[in-house]
Amino acid sequence: MDVYEAVDSRRAVRAFSDEPVPEEVLRRVLRAATRAPSSGNLQPWHLFVVTGEPLAELKRRATRRALAGDPGDEREYPMYPDGLTSPYLDRFSAAAAQRYGALGIERDADRPRKIAALNSDAFGAPAVLFCYLDRTMGPGQWGDAGMYLQTVMLLLRAEGLHSCPQVMWTMYRRTVSRVAGADAELVLFCGIAVGFEQEGAPRLRTGRADMAETVTFIGA
């Protein structure tokens, strides 16, 4: 698979089969991803790979919280800025409508609970990668972590695997940290659900803004 194909075929998959991901594949991907760039080569990410019984236990605990309507642990960083305006708000709303339409989740009072419950099961994925940053790191290093995680997700495609980044895990960050054994100096950025896509699951190709909206060529 060439890199264009990997980029084009990566999408947030929200229905995984229970086929386990071989550990040697995860190790190959994560070893290759160590080549991701970072400002000053700080490599500020800390990744916890959770599978098997520890993941099953984490899903049980988080799903119990989700179904109970637990609003989640106090956030360590805002998922989105307050007062999101156009064009970001429009993109957010369009993607949410596409996403929940594909999942068959109606716009009713129970919607947040249903969304939380699907996320807390990692959409059935047999592996979740939890990415943390040291509390002392700033915006530049958070950007580095994004580059690293995209590198991981593209390499997963090269292995025939799919993924879904999940900021929703930050709602249950205390539960995650307990299971992962992450110390208090670390802040949970997000989880990445990893696995093989469930056969017959609806395929969602989320829209994108036209390139001209986000890219400016100067001098060309």
Ligand X SMILES: Cc1cc2nc3c(=O)[nH]c(=O)nc-3n(C[C@H](O)[C@H](O)[C@H](O)COP(=O)(O)O)c2cc1C
Nearer Cβ to ligand X (161/190): 190
Q: Please name the amino acid found at residue 4.
A: Y
Nearer Cβ to ligand X (35/205): 205
Q: Provide, rounded to whole angstroms, the least separation between the CB of residue 190 and ligand X.
A: 5
Q: Provide, rounded to whole angstroms, the least separation between the CB of residue 177 and ligand X.
A: 17
With 0-12 / 13-18 / 19 or more C-beta atoms within 10 angstroms meaning exposed / middle / buried, residue 201 is middle
> 59-91 burial, b for 16+ CB within 10 Å, e for fewer?
bebbbebbeeebebbeeeeeeeeeeeeeeeeeb
Nearer Cβ to ligand X (60/208): 208
Q: Provide, rounded to whole angstroms, the least separation between the CB of residue 204 and ligand X.
A: 6
Q: Provide, rounded to whole angstroms, the least separation between the CB of residue 218 and ligand X.
A: 28
Give the interface with ligand X as residue ranges (CB under 6 A): 11-12, 14, 95, 119, 164-168, 190, 206
Residue 62 CA to residue 145 CA, distance in Å, equals 24
Nearer Cβ to ligand X (22/143): 143
The Cβ of residue 187 has, within 10 Å, a number of other Cβ atoms equal to 20
